[in-house]
């Protein structure tokens, strides 16, 4: 895989209350067009938690689709056009029919470690320069069933008042399987702001140490992205 050629589209979709059953249905139906889409290298359909981070309580109005694709095949970087080309007519039509408000983030993974269902999206040996300006981060993990209690007891200390941290712009908690396969995606004004939150908060550092020492995760991944663009469709 040409790691440095991968780009990512993250769709965050907000359904009105009366359309929530169709949001659930989309998580099953969308698999077929995405699986058959040869333009994609990897995709995930996910639900979301409340409060913008890991949360035991789901947000049934908000759902996410994440697509990884080879950037060299798509020189166009306008998010609307890329969305139509990669999500496809069926999915875009579904969102339009059900009046879904969709935020789209166009991202370039440039650093990180770990895997997602065995797939790696950056080469940890390849040192790419950190970008100037906004940075996005995805932290995801498959939590061992025997460690669920420890994990969820630790979450409130790290998630509390996330929006009050300097440089914080946006975050969402997303996951493939409630409670077990979880991720947090966040955007920051700069790399320095992100590091100040991730590495200087004592509660956050304590949880990181415990995940290693007590082997909470069966698989985990951390990715940093350059933020290329974002829009609402």
Query: Is the whole-model pTM more than 0.75?
Result: yes
Does 135-226 carry CATH code 3.30.70.100? Answer: yes
What's the CA angle centered on 130, arms 127 and 134, to 5 degrees? 150
What's the CA angle centered on 55, arms 171 and 106, to 5 degrees? 25
CATH number belonging to domain 3-109+227-232? 3.30.70.100
* Residue 227 contacts residue 134 (beta carbons within 8 Å): yes
DSSP secondary structure letters along 24-74? HHHHHHTHHHHHH-TTEEEEEEEEEEGGGS--SSEEEEEEEEEEEEEGGG-
What's the pLDDT at 78? 84
DSSP secondary structure letters along 152-218? HHHHHHHHTTGGGSTTEEEEEEEEEETTTEEEEEEEES-HHHHHHHHHH-HHHHHHHHHHHHTT-EE
What's the pLDDT at 210? 77
Q: From first to last of its 233 residues, what are the pLDDT tens digits of the chain?
A: 444 489 999 999 999 999 999 999 999 999 999 999 999 999 999 999 887 766 678 899 999 999 999 988 887 778 889 999 999 999 999 999 999 999 999 999 999 999 999 999 998 778 888 888 999 999 999 988 888 888 777 766 565 567 778 999 999 999 998 778 889 999 999 999 998 887 766 666 677 777 777 788 889 999 999 999 999 98
The domain limits of the chain are 3-109+227-232, 135-226
State how far Cα 114 lies from the chain centre: 14
What's the pLDDT at 165? 85
**135-226 has the same fold as 3-109+227-232:** yes
């Amino acid at each position: 895989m040409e790691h440095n050629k991968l780009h990512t589209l993250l769709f965050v979709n907000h359904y009105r209350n009366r359309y929530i059953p169709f949001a659930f249905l989309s998580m099953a139906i969308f698999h077929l067009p995405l699986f058959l889409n040869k333009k994609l290298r990897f995709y995930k359909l996910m639900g979301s938690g409340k409060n913008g981070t890991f949360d035991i309580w789901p947000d049934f109005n908000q759902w996410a689709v994440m697509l990884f694709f080879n950037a060299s095949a798509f020189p166009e970087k306008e998010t609307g056009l890329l969305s139509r080309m990669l999500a496809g007519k069926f999915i875009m039509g579904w969102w339009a029919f059900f009046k879904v408000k969709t935020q789209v983030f166009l991202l370039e993974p440039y650093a990180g470690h770990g895997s997602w269902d065995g797939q790696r999206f950056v080469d940890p040996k390849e040192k790419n320069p950190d970008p100037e300006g906004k940075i996005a981060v995805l932290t995801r993990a498959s939590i061992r069933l025997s460690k669920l209690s420890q994990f969820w007891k630790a979450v409130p200390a790290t998630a509390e008042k996330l929006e009050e941290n300097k440089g914080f712009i946006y975050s969402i908690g997303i996951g493939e399987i409630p409670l077990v396969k979880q991720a947090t995606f966040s955007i920051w004004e700069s790399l320095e702001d992100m590091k100040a939150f991730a590495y200087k908060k004592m509660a956050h550092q304590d949880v990181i140490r415990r995940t290693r020492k007590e082997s909470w995760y069966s698989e985990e991944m951390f990715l940093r992205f350059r933020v290329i663009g974002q829009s609402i469709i």
